[in-house]
Amino acid sequence: MLAAQKVERLHVVNKHGFPYALMRGFLDGGEGSRRLVVTRHGRVETVPQAVVVVNRLGDGAPLYRRFPGSAERFRAVGATDPFRVFLPEARARALAERLPPPAFAGWERSDALERDVVAQSAGGPVTVRRMSGPELRLEFRREALRMTLRLVAANPTARACELEIQLDGARVARVRLDPGVGWQAVAVPLAPAGEQGVLTLLAPAEVRPVFRALQIFDD
């Protein structure tokens, strides 16, 4: 992806990872013209053309990253887990059809959401995440006055699941996930009141929905 986008200045934010192969490959592929900066906290003096975030033990999956000195936000693109690749927003949006945002993106912290696992589906193996308890919380930053929760979910049990969705403690939607029907796609409009929001998904105690995509978008 980095080579295809002709990235010459790359910033790697590394915590709990070991991205040597990526860094070495990036530098070797540029014949001396490429520049690489590696930090732990994301502070740089020169604004990069792309950012790679490596945090294997982290839970946050923000849609954007910001850098001092840059007037433009950087937006997550592509399915590159466990790495996250960010491009300048205008460029990322122009490439959205070919490089859509990651399937799991849009929040800074979560509670009761298991890590990625590979599951078998009718179309082959897919990366999924499962609720580990009856109440899933996603803390996110308001990126626009109007936002959208998008999820693709399945109910692996034999019982019907009424999934209640709350924004800052107020119910905004109720989604029925029927058993045995495969993946169901849902979009819920959101209007966060503050700069930070809390999205809560409540499921019956005996049901643990599985997500193929879980995204909080600003469009």
> E strands of the chain, at which residues?
9-14, 35-39, 50-54, 64-65, 74-77, 83-88, 104-105, 109-111, 117-121, 124-130, 135-141, 147-154, 161-167, 170-177, 184-190, 196-202, 210-217
> Does 41 have pLDDT greater than 80?
no
For 189-218, the pLDDT digits (tens) are 999 999 999 999 999 988 999 999 999 999
DSSP-derived 3-state class of residue 28? helix
* Structure tokens, 9: 């200045």
> Does 137 have pLDDT greater than 80?
yes
pLDDT band at 57 (very low <50, low <70, confident <90, very high): low
User: What does the alpha-carbon distance between residue 136 and residue 31 come to, in Å, rounded to a whole number?
Assistant: 47
- Contact, 121 vs 181, CB < 8 A? no
For 67-95, the pLDDT digits (tens) are 777 788 999 999 887 789 999 999 999 99
pLDDT band at 42 (very low <50, low <70, confident <90, very high): low
Under CATH, which architecture does the 105-217 domain have? Sandwich (2.60)
Strands 196-202 and 161-167: antiparallel
Q: In the predicted model, what is the mean pLDDT of the chain?
A: 89
pLDDT in the model for residue 88:
94
pTM listed for this prediction: 0.88
Average pLDDT over every residue of 136-146: 95
For 97-133, the pLDDT digits (tens) are 999 999 999 999 999 998 777 766 666 677 889 999 9
Could you tell me the residue ranges of all domains in the chain? 9-101, 105-217
